[in-house]
Amino acid sequence: MNLLLSDDYLLQDYPENITNTIRSGHTTCLRFNRNGDYLASGRVDGTVVVWDLETMGVARKLRGHRAAITSLSWSRCGRYLLSACQGWRAVLWDLQDGTRYREVRFRAPIYTADLHPWNHNIFVASIFDEAPSLVDMSGPSDVKHTLPSAPKRTNTDADAATKEKQAKEDAKQMTTATVWTATGDHILAGTNKGRFNIIDANTREIIWSEKICSSVVTTLRLTGSGRELLVNSQDRIIRTFHLPNLSAEDLDPDTIQMPLEHKFQDVVNRLSWNHVTFSATGEYVAASTYNNHELYIWERNHGSLVRMLEGPKEEQGVIEWHPHRALLVACGLETGRIYIWSVTTPQRWSALAPDFVEVEENVEYIEREDEFDIHPQEEINKRRLDQEDEDIDVLTLDPSKGYHEDIEGTEFRMPVLFNLGESDSEEEFVAVSTGTVRRRSLGEGHEGEAPDEEKGAGGKKTVAARGTRGRKK
């Protein structure tokens, strides 16, 4: 019904103002699933919360980490969710029942972890001060393949001094961001020295390398088609590149060209960018700013700034664009709230009533001759009984238009959560007494347990005395 009341084709392609705010703990990262009906958020305490965007309620709470969530990645079918944290662990969740499907441990905190676009048992991870890892969970035990970070060198006939200098430079290269291509045949990786590497997933070797910026690469993003690449680095410049067709049969790695399309930056204020993302169609680029509360939106065709979104007076961290709609979400760094920007949709009531007309003032209504006739009770009962015999389908779901066209196989639907305590979002303020509220602390009651400082030896609670005297029993 709501779909009929909106004129989506008449709206603009980018959001304008804040339309909603949701909160469950202190959020650190966000990610939409492929369909766009669920939003996953990772919290500081290690909990992963899955939001239902239709009801703006919590659909799942996944507890298995003990440190802040740093990365989230959905499988193509939407059933599996990969979460990585600063506690050196990555967990693959099965949202059918909310259990841990697989768990992988590393030797350092994880920057990013990205699931294979066609196989949920394979993912690539970039690790702090360690080589990136390609993990295969198809078998009973996890298989980790170490990926290279050193760039591919073409000058093999260089002298010994040059080779020694290059070897020292290569030893300092560390991969900070990784992402799969659309086909899953190659891995795109960015390093702390501004290098960009293309890694063959089968041979696990770098086939092409080039220096694209002068500082650490923090974010890599691809459009839905996989032909445009978005790169954010710490040199305060956002870059977009045209990615060649790496799946071509006659691909020659020596002839790969990746032309630079646009550079987006704030020349006046020299702002740094916390996080960047593509729009649903790839026509726009959005970014959250460092030490600033505004969001910037650029148009890619001309490279011009089209909008500066002003919202709450706090710095925004991770920013995500809905895969099908003009809807933007970002998490605040101070409060951990999730802010939602979208377009205010004008309602079109004529979709349900073709004769509906908006009037400026009251109009005298002329009734029909038989409009208010009194019918016999027997005839009314007969009509009601005839309507009760009709079979009404209340189980079949009508898919939203265009959202599931490119997904093969059976569509996954998350089961309904009947535990009301798990499905409630956590409010920022709690009631103390009548007319008095206070702000909820970060670690208060998230897991249904007492805070750590209130637990004594043996896991028993110890309550501090309110005064100097205690009451004897």
pLDDT tens digits, residue range 265-324?
Answer: 988 888 899 999 999 888 999 999 998 888 999 998 888 899 898 878 889 999 999 998
**pLDDT recorded at residue 427:** 55
pLDDT tens digits, residue range 15-38?
Answer: 888 989 998 889 999 999 998 899
Q: What is the DSSP string of 203-255?
A: TTEEEEEEE--SS-EEEEEE-TTS-EEEEEETTS-EEEEEPP-TT-TT--GGG
What average pLDDT does range 339-367 have in this prediction?
Answer: 77
**pLDDT recorded at residue 395:** 75
| Percent of the chain topping pLDDT 90 | 40
CA dihedral over 108, 111, 115, 117, signed as positive or negative: negative
Give the Cα separation of 201 and 185 in Å (integer): 6
**pLDDT recorded at residue 29:** 93
Q: Which of 403 and 235 is assigned the larger pLDDT?
A: 235
**pLDDT recorded at residue 434:** 59
* pLDDT at 8 exceeding the cut of 60: no
Instruction: State the pTM of this model.
Output: 0.77
* pLDDT at 39 exceeding the cut of 70: yes
Mean pLDDT of the chain: 81
CB-CB neighbours of 254 under 10 Å: 7
DSSP assignment, residue 461? B
pLDDT tens digits, residue range 69-124?
Answer: 999 999 998 899 999 999 999 999 999 888 899 999 999 999 999 999 999 999 99
Contact 61, 425 (CB under 8 A): no
Contact 244, 256 (CB under 8 A): yes
* pLDDT at 455 exceeding the cut of 90: no
Q: Which of 407 and 70 is assigned the larger pLDDT?
A: 70
**pLDDT recorded at residue 11:** 58
Query: Cα-flanking dihedrals φ and ψ of residue 152, to 5°?
Result: -75, 125
* pLDDT at 467 exceeding the cut of 50: no
pLDDT tens digits, residue range 184-228?
Answer: 999 999 999 899 999 999 999 999 999 999 899 999 999 988 899
Cα distance from N-terminal residue to C-terminal residue, the chain: 63
Q: Which of 459 and 179 is assigned the larger pLDDT?
A: 179
**pLDDT recorded at residue 40:** 95
